[in-house]
């Protein structure tokens, strides 16, 4: 069998844009491969991980709610997966499951592409304290940021997350975010505020320095109210779609043997 197979598991799965993303690359590079969405419920996860390699899949992406469980079930895990305790990219080799987490890589690669001259050491203000925030903070610290400031509506959650990065993350109250941004070179929204169907993020940008880069992990809509306000002030903004696109690169490389490019054609294909 020469055809290469990969896919994505999740519950639900029908909303996933990954099949379109990988499908575009397969077609672009003329690779004899298929990338398929697979609806896997939590109760079926263990059995699926045994079955999928036997069916000939080279690997899978993993989305909600399985990211933590697959990390526990894998035979080996990368350092960057260990840093966040979850995995989104599995590779099957000789009956072994190798788990990686490429979300942080995707976040940084998106920033690098959208703000090419950014100062990697610039202090970052992170809004939100969920799983996404954890990945973003781990990536930023690993990448050499000077310091991270964290703020969240529920302060206790921010304190718990900060305690996982001893002495590296300072917590400020949620209602202080507007002032705290004044000495930060990067502002990251990891909350769901601004997403279609959710309220907008109510944050005045009056104290936002002109050189501060603003990014959002929300990508529906592409231009969230936060990004629109920052752009109107003349700040460089980076939307969240690129994070989804870039996080897919290491998996495609491992399963299909080619390093794919993230460009405007891919963005258009995924949004179509």
DSSP, residue by residue, 180-239: HGGG-SEEEE-SSTTSTTSPPP----TT--TT-EEEES--SSSS-HHHHHHHHTT--EE-
61 among annotated binding-site residues: no
132 binds ligand ATR (CB under 6 A): yes
Q: Which of 4, 24, 66, 67 is catalytic?
A: 67
Contacts of residue 116, defined as CB under 8 A and 6 or more positions apart, other chains included, come to none
CA angle, residues 66, 67, 69, in degrees to nearest 5 = 65
129 among annotated binding-site residues: yes
Place of tokens 């794919």: 260
The nearer residue to ligand ATR, 56 or 65, going by C-beta atoms, is 65
- Joined tokens for residue 29: 């590079």
Phi, psi (rounded to 5 degrees) for 6: -150, 175
Smallest gap from Cβ 191 to ligand ATR, in A, equals: 3
Contacts of residue 42, defined as CB under 8 A and 6 or more positions apart, other chains included, come to 11, 65, 66, 69
The nearer residue to ligand ATR, 19 or 128, going by C-beta atoms, is 128
234 among annotated binding-site residues: no
State the binding string over 140-179 for ligand ATR (x if CB under 6 A, else -).
------------xxx--x----------------------
- Closest-CB residue for ligand ATR? 130
Which of the residues 111 through 130 are near ligand ATR (CB under 6 A)? Answer: 128-130
The nearer residue to ligand ATR, 57 or 111, going by C-beta atoms, is 111
189 binds ligand ATR (CB under 6 A): no
CB-CB neighbours of 241 under 10 Å:
21
Contacts of residue 1, defined as CB under 8 A and 6 or more positions apart, other chains included, come to 56
The nearer residue to ligand ATR, 57 or 216, going by C-beta atoms, is 216
> Is 170 within 8 Å of 149 (Cβ atoms)?
yes
Interface with ligand ATR: number of residues (CB under 6 A)? 15
Q: Is 194 left (phi over 0), alpha (psi -120 to 50) or beta?
A: left
The nearer residue to ligand ATR, 100 or 103, going by C-beta atoms, is 103
131 binds ligand ATR (CB under 6 A): yes
Smallest gap from Cβ 152 to ligand ATR, in A, equals: 5
Among all residues, which ones are annotated catalytic? 67
Residues that bind ligand ATR (CB under 6 A): 128-133, 152-154, 157, 190-193, 199
Show binding-site residues for shikimate.
Answer: 16-18, 63, 88, 103, 219, 247
């Amino acid at each position: 069998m020469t055809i290469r197979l990969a896919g994505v598991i999740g519950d639900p799965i029908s909303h996933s844009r990954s099949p379109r993303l990988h499908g575009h690359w397969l077609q672009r590079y003329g690779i004899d491969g298929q990338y398929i969405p697979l609806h896997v419920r939590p109760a079926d996860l263990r059995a699926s991980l045994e079955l999928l390699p036997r069916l000939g899949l080279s690997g899978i992406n993993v989305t909600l709610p399985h990211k933590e469980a697959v990390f526990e079930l894998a035979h080996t895990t990368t350092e960057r997966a260990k840093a966040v305790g979850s995995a989104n990219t599995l590779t099957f080799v000789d009956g072994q499951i190798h788990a990686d987490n490429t979300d942080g890589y995707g976040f940084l690669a998106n920033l690098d592409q959208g703000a090419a001259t950014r100062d990697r050491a610039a202090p970052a203000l992170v809004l939100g304290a969920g799983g996404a925030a954890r990945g973003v903070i781990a990536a930023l610290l690993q990448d050499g940021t000077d310091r991270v400031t964290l703020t969240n509506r529920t302060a206790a959650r921010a304190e718990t997350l900060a305690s996982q990065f001893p002495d590296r993350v300072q917590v400020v109250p949620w209602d202080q975010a507007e002032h705290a941004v004044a000495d930060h070179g990067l502002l990251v929204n990891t909350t769901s505020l601004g997403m279609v169907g959710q309220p907008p993020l109510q944050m005045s940008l009056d104290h936002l320095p002109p050189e501060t880069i603003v990014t959002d992990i929300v990508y529906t809509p592409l231009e969230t109210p936060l990004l629109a306000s920052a752009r109107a002030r003349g700040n460089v903004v980076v939307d969240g779609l690129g994070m989804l696109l870039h996080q897919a690169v290491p998996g495609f490389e491992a399963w299909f043997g080619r390093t794919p490019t993230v460009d405007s054609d891919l963005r258009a294909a995924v949004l179509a």
